Amino acid sequence: MANRVYNFSAGPAMLPEPVLQKAAEEMLDFQGSGMSVNEISHRSKLFEQVIRTAEQDLKELLRIPGNYRVLFLQGGASQQFAAVPMNLMRHKKAAHIITGQWAKKAAQEAALYGEVANIADSSDKTFSYIPDCSDLDIPEDADYVYICENNTIYGTKFHTLPNTKGHDLVADVSSCFLSEPVDVSKYAVMYGGVQKNIGPAGLVISIIREDLITDDVLPGTPTMLKWKTQADNDSLYNTPNCWSIYICGLVFGWLKEMGGLSEMKRRNEEKAAILYDYLDNSKLFRGTVRKEDRSLMNVPFVTDSDELNDLFVKEAASEGLVSLKGHRTVGGMRASIYNAMPKEGVEKLVTFMEDFEKKHA
Ligand SMILES: *Cc1c(COP(=O)(O)O)cnc(C)c1O
């Protein structure tokens, strides 16, 4: 047996063990081909089946309506920061809600292509909450409203989508992708880098309402970044990230086997409650996010001492609880507890925190 740890990294993050085992089994001979999935042509029947099954399973899991396209793209979520304005900025104006570093980066990228209206912002309290988005001042001619739905670094989540007043909503869902059921029809575009909750880095999945996939893009948009190019070629315009698509497909299969996204939501709520309940009662540790805005996926917490924070991260690692250091811009700790983190991992973390608290309180 491999000596596995509980990996609390924000991404690349833990993958389901059965998925890794299956990939290991199939590594040398993928479905009787005598080749690894890393060696077969992306134009082969075998790979065609891999990508189409992955797409179908994703559509099923998220109940994606028929008027949406699923694109498997490269360049990570960060590449979509540019692709979104290039494909959508017909009036050269976007309305952004700034709830953290990733939201900020997306707004900065969009500003290269047009005007960006900052319509709400939670930087005044180090992004520890989600602003009230029920009645925002959105420019009439804005092409879309943009959010980062789950803020990986700060551990906040939009539990209610903003009132976009009829504008299209674009959401970066990298760190909450497939963590619970969502109503896809409320989004014009949702996209996420898969390395947070789904698969290996280097792949971004964009789910785009069909009417937004057109030739009417900003002048100079690279062929590869034009969604229409990718849609017309069923995500096979050039050689895709075959490996990541294959692993994502296995993860989709795993999610279906586990009972789909409602069951994931139940498990994720259960896991997060174990950790948050402890944090709310601890005298040493405390969560850093306003309660009603807490993420189920990323849980930042601190003690009042930098030395204790460092010691905690170090001692936890020696117990097989790894990657608990907070983001470099925030400090403290962060436990990312995505779909693949078993409940036992969170229980073990909390037990360790209790022991640590007894020693240091
Ligand atoms: C990690 C992350 C990104 C960046 O993803 P890349 O694939 O590395 O570009 C963007 N947005 C969010 C919310 C993230 O968590």
Instruction: Establish if 4 belongs to a structural domain.
Output: no
The domain boundary, picked from 257, 273, 301, lies at 257
pLDDT for residue 229: 98
Could you tell me the residue range of the domain that residue 66 belongs to? 18-257
Kindly report the CATH number assigned to the domain that includes residue 264: 3.90.1150.10
* Interval between CA 1 and ligand 1 midpoint (Å): 32
* Interval between CA 281 and ligand 1 midpoint (Å): 32
Q: Are residues 212 and 349 in the same domain?
A: no
The domain boundary, picked from 257, 273, 306, lies at 257
Is the predicted pLDDT of residue 329 greater than 90, yes or no?
A: no
Q: What is the pLDDT of residues 44-96, one digit of tens each?
A: 999 999 999 999 999 999 999 999 999 999 999 999 999 999 999 999 999 99
* Interval between CA 53 and ligand 1 midpoint (Å): 25
Of the listed 196, 226, 271, 325, which one is catalytic? 196
Q: Are residues 223 and 316 in the same domain?
A: no
Q: Are residues 24 and 161 in the same domain?
A: yes
* Interval between CA 154 and ligand 1 midpoint (Å): 13
Q: Are residues 49 and 131 in the same domain?
A: yes
Of the listed 102, 157, 226, 271, which one is catalytic? 102
Q: Are residues 266 and 247 in the same domain?
A: no
Q: What is the pLDDT of residues 115-155, one digit of tens each?
A: 999 999 999 999 999 999 999 999 999 999 999 999 999 99
Kindly report the CATH number assigned to the domain that includes residue 56: 3.40.640.10
Three-state SS letters, the chain: CCCCCEECCCCCCCCCHHHHHHHHHCCCCHHHCCCCCCCCCCCCHHHHHHHHHHHHHHHHHHCCCCCEEEEEEECHHHHHHHHHHHHHCCCCEEEEEECCHHHHHHHHHHCCCCEEEEEEECHHHCCCCCCCCCCCCCCCCCCEEEEECEECCCCEECCCCCCCCCCCEEEECCCCCCCCCCCHHHCCEEEEECCCCCCCCCEEEEEEEHHHCCCCCCCCCCHHHCHHHHHHCCCCCCCCCHHHHHHHHHHHHHHHHHCHHHHHHHHHHHHHHHHHHHHHHCCCCEECCCHHHECCCEEEEECCCHHHHHHHHHHHHHCCEECCECCCCCCCEEEECCCCCCHHHHHHHHHHHHHHHHHHC
Check the CA dihedral 282-287-290-295 and report its sign. Answer: negative
Of ligand 1's atoms, which has the minimum distance to the CA of residue 193? 7
- Least-confidence region, from 4-13, 64-73, 96-105, 323-332: 323-332
Q: What is the arithmetic mean of pLDDT over 319-339?
A: 94
Is residue 172 annotated as part of the catalytic site, yes or no? Answer: yes
Q: What is the arithmetic mean of pLDDT over 253-280?
A: 98
Is residue 196 annotated as part of the catalytic site, yes or no? Answer: yes
Cβ 148 under 6 angstroms from ligand 1:
yes
Instruction: Establish if 116 belongs to a structural domain.
Output: yes
Q: Are residues 134 and 222 in the same domain?
A: yes
Instruction: Establish if 10 belongs to a structural domain.
Output: no
Of ligand 1's atoms, which has the minimum distance to the CA of residue 11? 1
Q: Are residues 190 and 286 in the same domain?
A: no
Q: What is the pLDDT of residues 300-312, one digit of tens each?
A: 999 999 999 999 9
Q: Are residues 59 and 190 in the same domain?
A: yes
Q: Are residues 209 and 280 in the same domain?
A: no
pLDDT for residue 6: 98
The domain boundary, picked from 223, 257, 291, lies at 257
Q: What is the pLDDT of residues 16-26, one digit of tens each?
A: 999 999 999 99
Cβ 152 under 6 angstroms from ligand 1:
yes
Work out the mean pLDDT of the chain and round it to a whole number: 97
Is residue 310 annotated as part of the catalytic site, yes or no? Answer: no
Is the predicted pLDDT of residue 1 greater than 80, yes or no?
A: no
Q: Are residues 86 and 144 in the same domain?
A: yes
Cβ atoms of residues 176 and 295 within 8 Å: yes
Q: What is the pLDDT of residues 183-236, one digit of tens each?
A: 999 999 999 999 999 999 999 999 999 999 999 999 999 999 999 999 999 999
Question: Candidates 175, 191, 204, 329: which one to mutate for ligand 1, based on the most atoms within 8 Å of Cβ?
Answer: 175
Q: Domain count of the chain? A: 2
* Residue nearest to ligand 1 atom 13, measured at CA: 174
pLDDT for residue 147: 98
Q: What is the arithmetic mean of pLDDT over 97-109?
A: 98
Q: What percent of the chain has pLDDT over 90?
A: 98
Q: Are residues 250 and 265 in the same domain?
A: no
Q: Are residues 163 and 51 in the same domain?
A: yes
Instruction: Establish if 82 belongs to a structural domain.
Output: yes
Q: Report pTM.
A: 0.98
Alpha-carbon gap, residue 60 to 69, rounded angstroms: 13
pLDDT for residue 328: 82
Instruction: Establish if 9 belongs to a structural domain.
Output: no
Instruction: Establish if 11 belongs to a structural domain.
Output: no
Q: What is the pLDDT of residues 272-292, one digit of tens each?
A: 999 999 999 999 999 999 999
Instruction: Establish if 316 belongs to a structural domain.
Output: yes
Instruction: Establish if 13 belongs to a structural domain.
Output: no
Is the predicted pLDDT of residue 340 greater than 70, yes or no?
A: yes
